[in-house]
Amino acid sequence: MEMTTKMRPLPLPLPLLFLTLLLSISLHLATVRSWKKDEFRNCNQTPFCHRARSRAPGSSSFSAHDVSISDGDLTATLRSPNSTSSSPLLLSLSAFQDGTLRLRILEDPSSSPLDPPRHRFQVPDVVLPDFLSKKLWLQRLTPEDGGSSSAVYLSDEYDAVLRHDPFEVFVRRRSTNRPVLSLNSHRLFDYEQLRKKEEGDDWEERFRGHTDTRPHGPQSITLDVSFFGSDFVTGIPEHATSLALKPTRGPGLDHSEPYRLFNLDVFEYLSESPFGLYGSIPLMISHGKAGNSAGFFWLNAAEMQIDVLGKGWDSETGLLLPSEQDRVDTLWMAEAGIVDAFFFVGPGPKDVVRQYTSVTGKPSMPPLFSTAYHQCRWNYRDEEDVENVDAKFDEHDIPYDVLWLDIEHTDGKRYFTWDSVLFPHPEEMQRKLAAKGRHMVTIVDPHIKRDDSFWLHKEATDKGYYVKDSGGRDYDGWCWPGSSSYLDMLNPEIRSWWGDKFSYDKYVGSTPSLYIWNDMNEPSVFNGPEVSMPRDALHYGGAEHRELHNAYGYYFHMATADGLLKRGNGNERPFVLSRAFFAGSQRYGAVWTGDNTADWDHLRVSVPMILTLGLTGMTFTGADVGGFFGNPEPELLVRWYQLGAYYPFFRAHAHQDTKRREPWLFGERNTKLIREAIHVRYTLLPYFYTLFREANTTGLPVARPLWMEFPSDEATFNNDEAFMVGSGILVQGIYSERAKHVSVYLPGNEAWYDLRTGTAYKGGKSHKLQVSEESVPAFQRAGTIIPRKDRFRRSSTQMVNDPYTLVIALNSSQAAEGELYVDDGKSFRFLQGAYTHRRFVFANGVLSSFNAAPSEPSNSEFSPGSIIERIILLGYSGGSKSALIEPGNQKVEIGLGPLRLGGDGGSSSVVTIRKPGVRISEDWTIKIL
């Protein structure tokens, strides 16, 4: 959602009326023109960024002293004769299992010039307690280079090294003695220490009529980080840019901007822009032609600006030595906080993601219904509209699982309420949907309407639960309800209080089939600087908003998810969609890419945006299908559905000023194409759900860049128009109008099978394919087995007991393997072993089903009765007519059958084992005779 004139604020005194009108006019203008960069700060208008960028390599003079081992860490003090303060900094290096190094640098409170000392903000509740238990207690230092460096053990393959003067930290591979990651190799480290304000100091900052008082003065930190053996870097969402980050500084890039991490409510954002969007995850991943990856994560919730430094950035001539060609240098600039950085050594891209999610958490296991198709609009008008839309899906044989309600369903933008005229019977409305296995999502935003008759505002005011302004009063900003205040979600007590509000007696009209959407939680403040909360606003513990801004939405998401957990007495998995996010948000639900636009460029950029989020832990992500703003032409809408069916989070959404665009409104042919796209998703739900379980246990994303599966294939490095779904499916989008052909690169040495036709294509080359209006190109990788459900139902809930189809794509050795994970789809009983996890292996003409679950005895039984009704063999070279099932000594037929059921009737005929009838929960073999 974005700014609009349809705000209904409380009646205001006459002196405020003029201000209100001006605000209303500015909001109206925001809806009729595109994003303008001058409304947001650039680096030159951001003093800490401007200062950091002006420093030359070698300008840092910090050196390490008093290096020793203390409490299992390497510790040292950093001193610099050129620092803004003579106080030393405290450094510690900690090693953890699986090759993760943690570097912390902060001020020594005993040397603080402030009385009393002010402690810098350290981001809580992101690093897992379980990770901290994996610390390796360092025993000794190894002096090197004549005592000018100290090395410590990191893993069997890696050492961590602290160079004393000049100060530098790097991780090296022991076998080659070459660095993998380094910090301060170019001596750009700077740490603006807190100090007393002296006469003549002007710490205030001004931008577009807003003044930031900056009571504690400059406190920024700058780091240079280098990735060795790397061809490119990726990560640091959220930006609408290519997957491989482009250089922002260097020869020919004098006027470019750094990548910005500052959570902002941005309307109609531009593609190919380094401008920050709704969320921030300060994790960067490198990758190189040797197939190796590494990662750097800075746990800091203040604004960051990050430069990717082009070749020759540090050379007056732009000439480079050959040995430097495989290094990527970056510059990290943060407004506040401390250095709390993590080095991930990989060596592969999957290893880096596992290492990062071991620190910040694995993605939560979503309820099954949420992995299906969602229908949303700002706004479905009333209960009759909801009922009609629901009925039309059934009439047109289009499945869906969730219907969403935006802000207009509330009573005057008061969350946890219903408009009594438009939605007088909310429980009955939800029960009607639930009878078909469907669910509802309503919106709950962080701004609370300042209305003394509103029970939530009165209670929050009485308890002192709002964020304060710089003067200590409840902060008053403008959002959808007009005058609003914002809950201080940094405070655990307030998060707990908020969670209680989702109980059925508090959220009157809610039912167990109702779930939640958190929007505007950057937080968005219409009359604030850059449509955001002032940086000098005050939070729990005296923290300034500048110090935690990027994590505000994270804490709001956390509190809402915990509220749904409370509502279900800890037994039901929550589903909460959030727009803002930070490191660790993957533990609390899904996110989407925000307010995109109905054009081909935004369809195109959705893929690298989703891939980047997956690499940084956020696997349950998607983009608004069709584009939030504007009216898509039918061809664009169809292509978006065909691609969006493979997004991890699959939701259509639209602005209230757009034309209605439910799937049946564009003519019979387009309705059929959209129906088939949605059916593709429902057919593949068993595969997607299995991948979500893999993400939940390993951290690996559902949607993956090609190079994650083929890390040594350089042809994949710059390809972000195609992506992998798990390890078994490759999808290529169509991103241009009236396209006749598309080039698809299929990596690897094995074949790929078209999902629609079964046609085999050779791997390791690009194919120029004729474009079909029926689908986007999608292929199954040879050597994989993918589970499907081919019956068409109204919702995923109604598919639970349906039989399965296994699609076996054979490789050149006539072999393949795959997995299937099944649980009850809604509870946490899977944590006690209540699930079925099968591994399927086809080799030497035999298909075998094995238990892939841990061997430990389960405390809870789960034995689904579903069977396998078809087994499809792609690339099978034999001519057998039957197969033998054991146990049971039962023969079944092998013949030709359709690759796909239903559809347009044009499905290819493929080798099929008919009606084997084996249960998915049991061990068995099927031998081709």
Could you count the other beta carbons within 10 Å of the beta carbon of residue 793? 15
Residue 746: strand, helix, or coil: strand
Structure token pair of residue 619: 């696997």
Element (H, E) at 615: helix 600-615
Quote the crossing angle between the two packed helices 383-395 and 426-434, to the nearest 10°.
10
Q: What contacts 551, CB < 8 A, 6 or more positions away?
A: 123, 126, 301, 490, 582
Residue (of 673, 798, 827) closest to 401 by Cα position: 798
Structure token pair of residue 275: 């401008």
Strands 402-405 and 373-375: parallel
Structure token pair of residue 16: 């405020």
Q: Rounded distance, CA 236 to CA 333, Å?
A: 13
Q: What contacts 366, CB < 8 A, 6 or more positions away?
A: 573, 575, 589, 590, 620, 692
Alpha helices, H only, 684-771: 685-698, 706-709
Burial label for 803, CB within 10 Å (0-12, 13-18, 19+), is middle
Residue (of 386, 405, 401) closest to 1 by Cα position: 405
- One-letter amino acid at 129 equals P
What does residue 807 show for φ and ψ, rounded to 5 degrees? -105, 110
Could you count the other beta carbons within 10 Å of the beta carbon of residue 57? 16
- One-letter amino acid at 207 equals F
Q: What contacts 899, CB < 8 A, 6 or more positions away?
A: 756, 757, 758, 872, 907, 908, 909, 910
Euclidean distance between the first and the last CA atom of the chain, given in angstroms as a whole number: 60
Max Cα-Cα span within the chain: 93
Q: What is the DSSP letter of 797?
A: G
* 369 to 378, 431, 650: CA distances (angstroms): 21, 16, 11
Q: Rounded distance, CA 550 to CA 239, Å?
A: 14
Could you count the other beta carbons within 10 Å of the beta carbon of residue 7? 18
> For the chain, what percentages of helix, strand and coil (3-state, to nearest 5) are there?
20, 30, 50
Handedness of CA 583, 588, 590, 596 (dihedral sign): negative
Whether the link from the prior residue into 238 is cis, omega within 30° of 0, is yes
Q: Rounded distance, CA 537 to CA 548, Å?
A: 11
Burial label for 6, CB within 10 Å (0-12, 13-18, 19+), is middle
Chain centroid, CA 722 distance in Å: 18
Q: What is the DSSP letter of 434?
A: H
Residue (of 662, 159, 753, 635) closest to 386 by Cα position: 662
Q: What contacts 295, CB < 8 A, 6 or more positions away?
A: 235, 283, 284, 285, 286, 342, 343, 344, 346, 352, 355, 356
Contact 81, 61 (CB under 8 A): yes
Angle 487-491-497 (CA atoms, 0-180°, nearest 5)? 65
Rg of the chain over all Cα atoms, to the nearest angstrom: 28
Contact 85, 193 (CB under 8 A): yes
Write out the catalytic residue numbers. 519, 522, 595
